[in-house]
């Protein structure tokens, strides 16, 4: 039987299953589910719907300057493990560290960092350090800029990113005079480097969202030819920070959530999760093909191809139900609650099906809702996490 991942053509669907496996394997089953679910939510928002404003991301800094994607601050959740230091010589990570530091020093104030369009691979990067599977991707320039807004609420960093079509966008120039100055730099690598290492401290998040701008600037045009003007972008930022903004396309339960609890995660599991998401998106909208946004190198997806790769059994297993990424948060500028995932029915919860096959006794058991068993119900031995 041909594996799912073998049916893909490089990065045509906008994800790398091997990188995902590497980042998830060291996490606990609970953390894997939360991490991968957020990745798929971002995938819908950024690539399928191609929205201008990202989903809400949360990061937890520590006293040593590290940044984590989970309150547990386990090493597997360290952001440094998600960075490709071949890309722009790792300057984006340096810029993020500076941005987070300024945000922590100025609680409640927004800090902006712009990652511009242009080359990903600098001339000084040794060719031998570039993995073969990433070579083509790194050689393709970014054609969309990303404007990051972060603020520290006293507990964690809250972050959204805005897609911007051009580096000379009038909103960027109005946002911070330094951006206009940097954009006049003629040398591309130096211009990119300056943008990536120049965080800009702005006003309090509430004040920023109420700021009067000189114009209702055009910010972004997506692959579906939809225009996003500043009033819409600011409103989406407000709704995202407040936890009220929902995806137009829900992410549904499938076998992936349950599979992430296995001792070994495979590229096939990751591939199935993403392609199931594409399948649901296209099926709900009645599309035979769709384009990908977010600067994805792929041409898009065709329903017939997605169905062929997934196969009938996988498509039949996808449960059309509640959005598993629905979040409940308090209000703007306050502490946001931890990510919650809604169960689809009485036989499943945020970790997937209540029924599971125990690797210790090889028997099938039913666990209590909202809990993962640490020991085998029959033999009393500890169930391996990974």
138 band by pLDDT with thresholds 50, 70 and 90: confident
74: containing domain: 50-242
343 band by pLDDT with thresholds 50, 70 and 90: very low
pLDDT tops 60 at residue 9: no
What tens digit of pLDDT does each residue of 67-124 get?
998 888 888 888 888 888 889 999 999 999 999 999 999 999 999 999 999 999 999 8
**Which pairs with CB-CB distance under 8 Å and at least 24 residues apart come from 365-369?**
369/343
> Could you tell me if residue 207 is inside a domain?
yes
Q: What is the pTM of this model?
A: 0.70
Nearest alpha-carbon partner for 343 in 321, 318, 368, 365: 321
Element (H, E) at 312: helix 312-317
> Could you tell me if residue 178 is inside a domain?
yes
Handedness of CA 5, 80, 189, 182 (dihedral sign): positive
> Could you tell me if residue 313 is inside a domain?
no
CA dist 162 and 145 (Å) reads 8
> Could you tell me if residue 293 is inside a domain?
no
331 band by pLDDT with thresholds 50, 70 and 90: very low
Round the CA-based radius of gyration of the chain to a whole number and report it. Answer: 21
- The total domain count for the chain is 1
| Edge-first strand listing for the sheet containing 57-61 | 67-68, 57-61, 157-164, 145-152, 109-115, 200-204
DSSP 174-195: HH-HHHHHHHT--SHHHHHHHH
> Could you tell me if residue 278 is inside a domain?
no
What tens digit of pLDDT does each residue of 31-53 get?
888 778 778 888 887 778 888 99
**Which pLDDT score, from 0 to 100, does residue 113 have?**
97
What tens digit of pLDDT does each residue of 194-223 get?
999 999 999 999 999 999 999 999 999 988
> Could you tell me if residue 300 is inside a domain?
no
> Could you tell me if residue 143 is inside a domain?
yes
> Could you tell me if residue 127 is inside a domain?
yes
pLDDT tops 60 at residue 344: no
Q: What is the mean pLDDT of residues 11-30?
A: 77
Nearest alpha-carbon partner for 176 in 145, 191, 196, 198: 198
């Amino acid at each position: 039987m041909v594996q799912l991942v073998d049916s893909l053509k490089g990065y045509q669907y906008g994800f790398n299953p091997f990188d995902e496996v590497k980042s998830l394997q060291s996490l606990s089953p609970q953390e894997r589910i939360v991490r991968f679910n957020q990745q798929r939510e971002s995938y819908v928002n950024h690539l399928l719907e191609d929205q201008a404003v990202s989903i809400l991301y949360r990061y937890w800094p520590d006293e040593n300057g590290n940044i984590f994607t989970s309150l547990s601050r386990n090493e597997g959740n360290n952001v440094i493990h998600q960075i490709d230091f071949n890309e722009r010589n790792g300057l984006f990570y340096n810029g993020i560290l500076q941005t987070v530091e300024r945000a922590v020093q100025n609680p409640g104030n927004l800090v902006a960092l712009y990652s511009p369009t242009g080359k990903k691979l600098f001339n000084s990067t040794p060719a031998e350090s570039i993995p073969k599977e990433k070579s083509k991707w790194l050689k393709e320039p970014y054609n969309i800029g990303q404007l990051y807004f972060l603020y520290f609420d006293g507990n964690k960093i809250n972050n959204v990113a805005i897609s911007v079509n051009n580096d000379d966008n009038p909103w960027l120039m109005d946002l911070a005079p330094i951006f206009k100055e940097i954009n006049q730099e003629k040398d591309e690598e130096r211009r990119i480097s300056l943008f990536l290492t120049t965080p800009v401290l702005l006003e309090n998040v509430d004040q920023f969202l109420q700021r009067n701008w000189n114009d209702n600037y055009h910010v972004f045009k997506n692959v579906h030819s939809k225009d996003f003007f500043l009033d819409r972008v600011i409103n989406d930022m407000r709704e995202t920070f407040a936890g009220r903004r929902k995806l137009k396309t829900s992410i549904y339960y499938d076998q992936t959530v349950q599979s992430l609890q296995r001792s070994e995660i495979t590229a096939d599991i990751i591939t199935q999760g993403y392609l199931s998401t594409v399948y649901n998106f296209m099926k709900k909208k009645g599309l035979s093909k769709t384009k990908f946004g977010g600067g994805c190198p792929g041409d898009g997806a065709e329903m017939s191809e997605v169905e062929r790769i997934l196969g009938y059994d996988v498509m039949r297993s996808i449960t059309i139900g509640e959005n598993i990424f629905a979040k409940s948060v308090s209000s703007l500028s306050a502490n946001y609650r931890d990510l919650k995932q809604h169960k689809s029915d009485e036989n499943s919860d945020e970790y997937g099906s209540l029924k599971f096959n125990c690797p210790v006794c090889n028997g099938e058991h039913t666990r209590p809702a909202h809990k993962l068993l640490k020991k085998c119900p029959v033999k009393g031995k500890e169930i391996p996490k990974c």
